[in-house]
Structure 1
């Protein structure tokens, strides 16, 4: 992964599209089946990537190599229990996807990654620097390729737990970021033309 290229793309794509919504405090229960575009999620269409809500999904499509794109919701969260289904209709074994949370700006957020070839990891972007908290590692719980993965992330103060398809992947503590927006992302490595469809997102208090 060429981190510099991914970072530049992420900042550029995050800045485009609709105007940034004003975050608000989330209720105890929030869900979205993406059956319609309520205006809650950022969407955009650029030559390299786009995020759209259509056909019952929030879809992120990337046309270029080493590119990351994400859609942020207008919700500020501190502690939460989030689940979302994600699928790779075009196989996408050389791409990654997942959840961004406690997003403050393009230089400060957490990222929960799943790759199309069955790896997962957890990292922090802080002061424009990447810090790997849990290195990418394999898990038999993750569906490879075009399968659907139900991701779950539980954030309680500085403690985080990560799940795929009902199986716990790991736990870790980090107190660097305490509150911020949530988002969904997709990225490519050395191959282009990735697509990730997100569906059935649900957030409750942990």
Structure 2
């Protein structure tokens, strides 16, 4: 009796086992849907990623082959995403073909393809938020819709019946273990490479700021009369230019000219060095300007990028101010303050502390120069013109600095500025039009005798001359 029962049940068991390895209608529909998804996203990722890589090679690498600088690699994270999209596009198209063959690797490639789509959508969300947060309003619905669809298909694809239908369990254990090691090793390699590249990028672009070494008081950081080391400055010709040009005696100096007639145009030249604490001095000469000398020029400090820095500016008609640019928004820390001497004695015979320029009544060329000095130590900054320390009219409780008729109406007249937004950065020299100046006349300023030494916080308010130690050159 038992022998007969066994002979009857055996064909039934074999029939069930045979059916479990065949693709059922619901499996075929699932696989077909995944193939369509892979085809669409494969083409999209392949085209978008390939186009991004092609543009990178054509726009940057083609013109800068043989050289590498921060300007060449600031777009590296976006380029990496483009490469990953290209590879994923190829992978999705291959997985689409593998699913049609229904061989044992098909299940693994299908699962990894669906996971790759979800991962790439998350990466694209991050890149979108980094480039322009406003674009998230378009990206979020797309990512939620297709990410949710891919996640649903991935959960359905992980069902044991689908594994059996695609023959995933027919892989030998040894082969499966080997495949897992290769896959996991590849994932670790990709993630570690991206982490290293991302870390390097973050350091180079100051997303992660590595602290600079401390400087001793009086220690030379940089000094130049523009006879050498000029390759460390931003130099460019044109109507708005920064060039090394000689004076009448043939002595070189950095000359910045603004001749665009556009109020928003300011020209600056950055020194290719980062400093933290500093005592900066530079001699300036106004070469050309409107008859009323209403212009602006000065120094940039703690510069991180075009959207984040401080600037101390003076004008040929005897005013000075301090501004801060943060996240691309300019804030006037201390508004324009005049240096007119109300006592009648004047400053060495001139009505303002800031001397107006070369083309005026002053006969001695030496008297046309202004020395600008900015001292930065930790989060405090002091400002000088022609060896006289200047006061600042800061905003205080009011929202803007207001100085009129010799009085600071914001009731916050200070000897220094304190702010810790930017802890280190580059030094720069700048020139531009004043908002109330004549835009038809170019502003040309000469800069010379740049000296940067370590500040002495103990004597900063007492000593006007830095105690210089060794020369770095």
1:71 equivalent to 2:266? Answer no
8 Å CA contact retained: 2:379, 2:423: yes
The number of equivalent residue pairs is: 187
RMSD of the alignment, in Å? 2.2
Shift of 1:54: 2.2
Shift of 1:20: 6.3
Match of 2:372 among 110, 126, 151: 151
Gaps of 5+ in 2: 1-68, 72-203, 206-211, 247-251, 340-351, 359-367, 392-415, 456-473
TM superposition shift of 1:95: 1.6
Q: Which residue of 1 aligns with 2:446?
A: 197
> d(CA) in 1 for partners of 2:390 and 2:357?
18
Q: Any idea what SS the aligned residue of 1:39 has?
A: helix
Q: Which runs of 4+ in 1 moved over 3 A?
A: 19-23, 25-28
TM-score by length of 2: 0.38
Alpha-carbon displacement from aligned partner over 1:97-156 (angstroms, at most 9, x marks no partner): 000011111000000001111100111000110111111111132112332100100001
State the partner residue of 2:426.
181
Cα distance in 2 for partners of 1:100, 1:167 equals: 19
- Distance in 1 separating the partners of 2:283 and 2:449: 6
Task: Check conservation: 1:104, 1:181, Cα contact below 8 A.
Answer: yes
Considering fraction of residues, name the structure with more helix: 2
1:174 deviates by: 1.5
User: What SS class does the counterpart of residue 176 from structure 1 fall into?
Assistant: coil
Tell whether the 8 Å contact from 2:224 to 2:451 is kept in structure 1 after alignment: yes
- d(CA) in 2 for partners of 1:37 and 1:49? 22
1:83, 1:173 → 2: CA distance? 20
Secondary structure of 1:71 counterpart: strand
Aligned to 2:233: 41
1:129 aligns with 2:329: yes
Contact 1:36 1:54 in 2 (8 A): no
Structure 1: gaps spanning 5 or more residues: 1-18
Does the Cα contact within 8 Å between 2:370 and 2:385 map onto a contact in 1? yes
In structure 2, distance between residues paired with 1:193 and 1:20: 32
Asked if 1 retains the 8 angstrom alpha-carbon contact of 2:289 and 2:295, the reply is no
Give the TM-score normalised by the residue count of structure 1.
0.84
The residue aligned with 2:316 is 116
Tell me the distance in 1 between the aligned counterparts of 2:284 and 2:383: 15
Q: Distance in 1 between matches of 2:384 and 2:287?
A: 21
Q: Give the number of the structure whose alpha-carbon radius of gyration is greater.
A: 2
Q: Is 1:101–1:181's contact at 8 Å kept on the other side of the alignment?
A: yes
Distance 1:41 1:132 in 2: 27
Contact 2:277 2:454 in 1 (8 A): yes
Structure possessing the higher relative contact order (Cα contacts under 8 Å, 6 or more residues apart)? 1
CA distance in 2, matches of 1:178, 1:161: 15
CA–CA distance in structure 2, aligned partners of residues 38 and 114 of structure 1: 25
What is the deviation of 1:91?
4.5
